[in-house]
Each structure stands twice: as structure tokens, then as C-alpha cells.
Chain A
Amino acid sequence: MIEATGLTKRFGNIEAAKDVSFIARDGEITGLLGANGAGKSTCLRMLYGVLTPDGGKACIDGIDIRGETSKARAHLGVLPHAAGLYNNLTARENIRYFGSLHGMSAQRLESRTAQLSQALGMEAFIERRAKGFSQGQRIKVALARALVHDPGNVVLDEPTNGLDVMAIRNLREMLLALKQEGRCVLFSSHVMQEVAALCDRVVIIGHGRVLADATVQEIRERSGTATLEEAFLQVLGDTEGVS
């Protein structure tokens, strides 16, 4: 479970996140929806502890990310916005590097890699160097890298960016599988269809603030529109009217 409580972050005069609070539960997919520059990445970065919030708190399975960073991170798999691989290493070596930095034993690493390789369909290229990988292959390796230590929580920042239709489909299946395994999945996106198709809960972010936090169904009902897109526009429209 991932909890954000009153997260606030300023960069100079810009308030990138203001009093952001939400909960992403285990066995659910939570979508962080917002336009480009709405503050999604800033929020996620505070959750996995590479940015220090100016105010508020982030907890992973109840562990404060600021207080016990390493312990909290052991429960967390991260797929950042830029999920580059080491081109001169094979897919397996890329995964192994992160696994060993998580302190995994060689044996456990071996079995876990085999498991992920099968689950993500990486057998064909697991021993190849990452240099010539397609975007779809890259995202698989990056995801495997984030999941190698078998974390209960997974954070993904715009994971579908730059992927083709097939790769997006694959990713969607992977996320659903993670949910089935009872993990807490939190991902950000600016594509509404994606969020609508996948998420149990949606947190809509605009101008660094939480504008809505509900199930897809609830948001639709509340706004009285048929699609999430219209609901989304309405939510955004409201705030623009307010501010």
C-alpha cells in the first residue's frame, strides 16, 4: 500500500505539488491522471524518495520513505519516466545488476529472473545485449528490473510512452497480472483511455493538486458524463473556473 499525505513540493516559485494526498491499495491499479506538467512525476518521485517533499509524508506499506528509505524501497519497485538500460549489458545482466544491488542472493536472483523472463516473455532476448532492443523489449526488461526483488508495490511513471499498440497491450496485461498477484500498482499517465481501461481508482492531478480521487465509475457518475474523457475535461474545467 502506498500512502501520500499532504505532499508539497516547490521548485523556486513554482508549486509543483500542493497538499497531495491519496492512497493506492494492494490488489488494485491506481492511475495518476493529469496533463503534461501537472505534477505527476513530482508526486511519484517523492513517493520513491528521490525528491524530498517540502511538506507532507509518503509511506510504503506503512514505512516512511524519508525515515527508513532503504527499508521502504525494499517494498517498492520503480519504473521511472526515463527507464534506460545499459546497452552493453545483456537483458539478464541488466536485471541481475539491480537485483544484486537489492541484496538478493545469486540463487534467488537466478530463479526470480527465470520467473520474470517467462512471465514477461523475454526468453528470446534475455541473453542479448540491450543495444538493439525495441521499445517493447526495453520496457519489459525495465519492468523486470523493477520487479526483480518481488516488491509488494510498483510505481510506474508514464510506462506507455513511446510504445506501439502491441507493446501497450502487453504492458496492460502485465499490470493486470501484477494486480492479480495482489500487488499495489500505481502508474501515471496522460492518456485517459489507458486509465479508463486499466484502473480501479483514478487520482486526477492538475496544477499540482488532487482534483478528484475515486473509482472510474464514481467519477463518471459524479460528473454525469458517459466517458471518462468528458468527466476529466469537466473536472479540469471546474478548477480552471476556480483558479
Chain B
Amino acid sequence: MRTLFIVFAKEFLENLRDRRTLLSALLFGPLFGPILFGLMVSRMLEQSVVESEVPLKLTISGSHYAPGLTQYLKARGVKLKFSELSENEARAAVRGGVSQVVLLVPEEYPQLFAASKPAPLLLFADSADSQTRKIADRARGILGAYGSTIAQLRLELRGVSPLLSLPVAVNEVDVATPTGRAVVVLGFMTYFVLFALLMGGLYLAIDSTAGERERGSLEALLSLPVARSALVGGKILATCAYMCISLALSLTAFVCVFRFVPLERIGMSANLGLKTALIFFGICLPFVPLGATLMTFVASFTRSYREAQTYLTTVLLVPTLPIAFASIYSLKPTSSLMFIPSLSQHLLMTSVLKDEPIFLPDVLVSAAASLGLALLLFVLTARHWRRETMLG
């Protein structure tokens, strides 16, 4: 126990004086996520707000064949650009980016329209371009509305109630709470939290293992009359301490960033105040020893600082895998998923963000699973440290 504390104190102090550790644990790790996230979210929000306000721009060709449609589009606030293009020219114009979306009224349109037969319209757009796809979608919506207006007028003229053409009336009821909607946007914030947490201990995990070996202080340390498990335990403990600091800073930064992100402008609210931050800290805390032992375990096998760095950057990605799976299969939090570290933390945090209740047994299972795995990794690490190959 004494050894554990001595090693912990020394590693903590030593890394407090190391600029690289400090920068990554206390600056890059915790701030990178929130800042990037804040910028991204505000940009996304700005865009979605702006898009619905900006008038739809459309290039129309052959408008003289369809004066009614042209009138309708104008009345709906569509900004029309008139030009005369052949089918091939229209295609080239869209492909070349001269026009984003082209509506082409063919020559036969007025004749078929008058005969109450389906009159063709050609809408040119590049569906591979997300920007023009959105414009095309809006254009399609307006054209569809025009179509049904005409259909109803025709029915009325023939003395048929237009209601006959509406056998069902679908009313969508959106049950998403404002916070729930925000979760779609905030979903991957949890990864940034876990990333910051791991980042905090990354350099200490390397420095106290591969660094110790590369520096040539390992052999002297290993020839001391102390238990190797206590040595590596103290190192892991110091790594944990830095990870906790990094986690706390990261959550604080997120709380601050969300003060400035205009989520409420699109009717969302982020449930991330000081209380939520504290709950997040509690949820992530069991993941700290797991991350620390995992990184120390991997770094113990490497020969040099550089090698350790290479392997550990991969380790940083490990917690993304379950989270990525969860979003691909849109997994809902269930008790069995609480056995998977990183995923359980992600799901619990997401629930809290959504203002959904979280259950104590789930939290306990999540913590126990992470701590159990941490213990297993610790045993394996300590065993490796007892081997003579540890000398390198």
C-alpha cells in the first residue's frame, strides 16, 4: 500500500512537470471535443435554419408552355430564372454546375395538360450532391402541391367532390421532446467525453511504462525490494488521477460551450447543466480505471515511446466501436447492453441528455462490468510486469 502511494505520488508529480502530458491531459483532450463540437453544432444549426428561410431558386425552361405553373411557382415565392434549354443542354447545365436544378417544360406539355392527360415535366438535379438534392426535394414538393391543386380543380369542374380523392388524411404527431430532438445532434458528444477521458491518461500510461524503459530507469526500479504489482498499480493510479482531471475539465468545457450554442433557435434544449455534468462524471468514473489499465497494459508490451504511441492511438478508437454499432443499429438502452463498457456509458449519458429516467441497477451493472474488466486487465498487467521479458 505504501509502495502504491509512493509510486503514485512520484508519477503524479513527475508528469505535472511534463509539458506534453499537461497539454494533452489538461488542454487538448478536454477542450478539443467541446470546441470542435460547439463549432460543428452551431454551423449545422445555422445551416438548417437558413435553408428553410432562403427562397427556392429554380431555372425554368419552356415556361411559356406552362403559364399557370409559372404563376403558381412565383406565387409560392420561388425565384425563377428563365432560359431556353434543350434536354441535353439542361443536363449539361446541371452537371456542369451552371444551374443547380433545372425544370424543363416540354413542347407537348400544353396539349396534354389541356386534354387532362398526365403532362410531363422534367426536373434535372444531381442526387449525389446533397446541396442540390435538398433543392430538388423542395421543388418536387411544390410541383406535387401544384399537381394536387389542379387535380382537385378538375374534379370540382366535373361535379365530383375533391374529398373523394383523399381517402385518408394522415396527421403526423411528433412526440420528440425538444431535448430528444437535440440528442440526434448531441449523440456523439459522449464519445468526445470518453475520448477526453482517455487522452488525459495517454501520455502518463506511455511515460510510466515504455518511457521508463526507454529512459533506462526501469531495471533499477525493478531491482528494488517491492512488489511489481504495487509498482504498476501506483502507475495506473496516477494515470487514473490525470484521467479524472481531464474528464472533469472536459465536462466543464461542454457545460460552457452549450451556454453559447443556439440550440433553442431550432426548438431544442440541451439538458447539460452542472447537475448533468456531475451525473456524467459519476457514470464515466468506472470507465477511468478500465481505460488506465488498458492503456498501461498495451504500453507495457511496447519497446519504445514511439511504438507505444502508435498502439495507444488505436486504443483511443476502441471505445468508438460499440458506440458506432449502437448508432448503426440504433440500439435502445437495455439491461444486457449495460455489460459492455463504453457503450453502457454512452447509453446512460444519452438517456440523461434525453431527460429519460436511468435505473440504478443499470448504472451498477455498467460500473461493475467496467471495473471487473479493469481488474482482469490489472491482473494481466501485473503478471506481465513480473516476467523477466519486462526488462526488454
- A binding-site residues for B, Cβ under 8 Å: 45, 48-52, 69-74, 76, 78-89, 93, 97-98, 100-103, 129, 142, 145-146
Contact = CB atoms under 8 A, between A and B. Distances in A.
Chain B binding surface SS class: helix
Most buried by A among B2, B3, B217, B222: B217
Nearest to B388: A51
9 contacts: A78-B220, A80-B216, A82-B216, A82-B217, A84-B216, A86-B10, A88-B18, A101-B221, A103-B2
A71 B6 contact: no
How many of chain B's residues touch chain A, expressed as a range? 20 to 34
Nearest to B17: A88
B215 A50 contact: no
Nearest to A138: B216
Most buried by A among B6, B220, B222: B220
A197 B376 CA distance: 53
A98 B222 CA distance: 11
A45 B391 contact: yes
A101 B220 contact: no
Given A89-B13, A101-B224, A80 B219 contact: yes
Contacts of A101: 3, 6-7, 221, 224, 226
Interface string B367-392: 00000000000000000000010010
A86 B13 CA distance: 11
A69 B225 contact: yes
B223 interface: yes
Interface string B204-215: 000000000001
Interface of B: 2-3, 6-7, 10, 13-15, 17-18, 215-226, 388, 391
Nearest to B222: A50
A48 B223 CA distance: 6
Given A50-B388, A97-B6, A84 B226 contact: no
A51 B223 CA distance: 10
Contact of B217 (A70, A73, A84, A103): A84
Contact of B226 (A70, A79, A86): A70
Contacts of B221: 101
Contacts of A51: 388, 391
Contact of A70 (B2, B18, B225): B225
Given A73-B224, A82-B218, A84-B218, 15 more contacts: A49-B223, A50-B222, A70-B225, A80-B219, A80-B223, A82-B217, A84-B220, A86-B14, A88-B15, A89-B13, A98-B224, A100-B6, A101-B224, A102-B225, A146-B220
